[in-house]
Structure 1
């Protein structure tokens, strides 16, 4: 469960759902099934679009790439709350969650962001991520074995894509396997934030207390896990408070869950709908790294992220005024013909694939490399082990009604 996704969904209700026709088209059932023609229309008709409520929608690669690196476009929680409050939306869930989490990387700007990011960067290294490969492979093999044993069909989301990232992150952070069911329960309750604030907040409180106990244990008896590394890093930087350390653990553990789930689910669906590319990957398994980048570009899990103008900003010949919100549609940029040749074609060997699926600039997704590694192992193993994998004849595909996230509810497969 990605807490940033949940708060974005709560905030989106205050803006996108009440926008004018061009942006509101993204909320239709047709757009939920396939938003990319709608993005193409927005790029063509009004790529820097201002809605009747004063919300901006950016869909061009060049504009979004620049916006992601522009520090005048803020991710600060207080600015964001004021901007959404001005729209008159109900932000109880968003406000209570951010108050409880405190100031973390995902809702701060420099210099606080840089300070907190350094803590995570020192511990969450490329070497540490790559060292997880064998463990991820074991988890994927186990999940596939269990699904095949239960056969003759599976829901890939439920059987593999959803349990994988939580299992991996628990291993990364040294969360004992016997605690995994309880952690899953908390994550499930987080996901119902907009439905039951009290229960979700209670789950967050219990989860925080659990993490605080883990941090205390690692201080007394360090191990070879990410919490121990974060504790050691904090000791080198006395400006980082215990609250900030705990919030950093909280966000890092939760942040990659849904992104990974839907990268695997969307990616496998794209391959099954493009049998020529699936066959190419089967013939050359070494393509998996470039394949995952292309799958992330082709059907982007995080469709859009939100920023607020901290001062007047000119983008694409338009002026965003201080306090106005901007929705940066990463998925639209990934199909921009000005940046990608034949962008609606899935090409696992696409050269120069500088997609923006994991953002850009100071807020580039810290967990992106781990999400990609999990997708490499999961997709590569499914393709190798299940040569007859295909969509179930009675498969009904649907996506959750959140325009900021591209999330399959289920992916029924036969093998």
Structure 2
């Protein structure tokens, strides 16, 4: 195979802090390049990354982490996940999950989500008083999606503080260069999360409610098929891990981008009707998920190279979303950008099933922040988390004025 050394080190602090200049250099070199350290191909351009997500010859092929005895619960929640399977298993599972979602859960929650966002912003205003910086991440961005998904699933309020630590520990397994301690914490969190959800599902079977978990428990298709208990548990964990992490990081990355582009922040204040387009632009401008792997099930020609059967290729979503061949002036934040085919929610059969819910949450939180304040100002420099794949902030100190 023709090998080009990819011009970036995903563990380099400078790349983690700002990968986009490295992406730009790589796109100019070649659309698809081999990364010797990761032993996979990387797709840098929008066309090739989009093809990686859509080409049915490039699949999500789950292989248990080894040794299997050490990662039993982590493997269980991925082996049964819709994100880690291909048709026909994927088709069956998505049909059942979509049937449960189709009962109007997102629209049912919309007014409640807005009230929650308004209340959280009011609490931040009380603490800030126009002079003191408060952390938007811990004070709102991290809390709101957990509360929403917990409400969606019908998790009792007393148990909700358990969810985010479990999610945080599990998703660190997706990073490169992780330590044994990180892996052990992920396995413990997976085990505790699985055990908790088995108990909650058992309660729903004896007393169904109007929440999504009840509908996932009771949904059957025309042939009488239903989710197995492992599929049910895995689906709930995926909703929290994928939906929650993405929403938190769009909130943090997006608000920081607006604070660093005060003209766009003011434009959004003056024209709140731009909010839906602004959310899409914030997702494009600094993507919450940077890398998504696929495996070739046969030899595939892409970007002038051959991906051999069994080899992995990753779509670099942030690089694709900054491709000047698709996005005019891609390094410019434009909250009114209407032609915006970003792939932050994925593409093809693995397009994010929770995208409508994420958009409701983001429109509510940004709408509350802009509508209930006259000024938002960075209190001190934000700190970024030291991971590349899931891109987000460690804190975001902001001064808010009522």
TM-score by length of 1: 0.86
Matches for 1:227-266 after TM superposition, within 5 Å:
227-234=213-220, 237-238=224-225, 240-266=227-253
Given that 2:96 and 2:226 are in contact with CA atoms closer than 8 Å, whether structure 1 keeps it comes out as: no
Whether 2:62 is the aligned partner of 1:77: answer yes
Distance 1:281 1:125 in 2: 32
Out of 372-381 and 179-188, give the one that drifted further: 179-188
1:48 aligned partner: 32
SS in 1 for 2:393: coil
Whether 2:206 is the aligned partner of 1:206: answer no
Distance 2:55 2:168 in 1: 35
Given that 1:234 and 1:245 are in contact with CA atoms closer than 8 Å, whether structure 2 keeps it comes out as: no
Whether 2:135 is the aligned partner of 1:155: answer yes
Q: 1:91 to 1:332 in 2, by over 3 A?
A: farther
1:140 aligned partner: 117
Whether 2:87 is the aligned partner of 1:103: answer no
Distance 1:72 1:283 in 2: 47
Given that 2:77 and 2:237 are in contact with CA atoms closer than 8 Å, whether structure 1 keeps it comes out as: no
Two-structure CA RMSD over aligned residues (Å): 2.4
Distance 1:343 1:286 in 2: 22
1:38 aligned partner: 22
1:333 aligned partner: 320
Q: 1:343 to 1:197 in 2, by over 3 A?
A: closer
Matches for 1:94-133 after TM superposition, within 5 Å:
97-99=74-76, 101-125=78-102, 127-133=104-110
Q: 1:250 to 1:33 in 2, by over 3 A?
A: closer
Given that 2:246 and 2:288 are in contact with CA atoms closer than 8 Å, whether structure 1 keeps it comes out as: yes
Given that 1:93 and 1:197 are in contact with CA atoms closer than 8 Å, whether structure 2 keeps it comes out as: no
Count of matched residue positions in the alignment of Structure 1 and Structure 2:
386
2:273 aligned partner: 286
1:183 aligned partner: 163
SS in 2 for 1:389: strand
Given that 2:219 and 2:226 are in contact with CA atoms closer than 8 Å, whether structure 1 keeps it comes out as: no
SS in 2 for 1:22: coil
Q: 1:326 to 1:94 in 2, by over 3 A?
A: farther
Whether 2:337 is the aligned partner of 1:353: answer no
Whether 2:309 is the aligned partner of 1:322: answer yes
Of 305, 308, 312, the residue aligned with 2:292 is 305
2:176 aligned partner: none
Q: 1:192 to 1:309 in 2, by over 3 A?
A: closer
The structure in which a higher percent of residues are helix is 1
Q: Write the deviation string for residues 222-265 of structure 1: whole angstroms up to 9, x where unpaired.
A: 11110111122147542632222222223223321110001011
Distance 1:165 1:92 in 2: 33
Distance 1:358 1:400 in 2: 21
Structure 1 gaps of 5+ residues are 1-18
1:197 Cα deviation (Å)?
4.0
Q: 1:155 to 1:164 in 2, by over 3 A?
A: same
2:371 aligned partner: 384
Given that 1:77 and 1:108 are in contact with CA atoms closer than 8 Å, whether structure 2 keeps it comes out as: yes
Of 382, 386, 394, the residue aligned with 1:397 is 382
1:408 Cα deviation (Å)?
1.0
Structure 2 gaps of 5+ residues are 174-178
Distance 1:96 1:225 in 2: 25
Given that 2:296 and 2:310 are in contact with CA atoms closer than 8 Å, whether structure 1 keeps it comes out as: yes
1:59 aligned partner: 44
Distance 1:199 1:30 in 2: 27
Given that 2:6 and 2:33 are in contact with CA atoms closer than 8 Å, whether structure 1 keeps it comes out as: no
Distance 2:70 2:335 in 1: 40
Given that 2:100 and 2:215 are in contact with CA atoms closer than 8 Å, whether structure 1 keeps it comes out as: yes
Given that 2:73 and 2:190 are in contact with CA atoms closer than 8 Å, whether structure 1 keeps it comes out as: no
1:281 Cα deviation (Å)?
0.8
Given that 1:33 and 1:398 are in contact with CA atoms closer than 8 Å, whether structure 2 keeps it comes out as: no
1:360 Cα deviation (Å)?
0.2
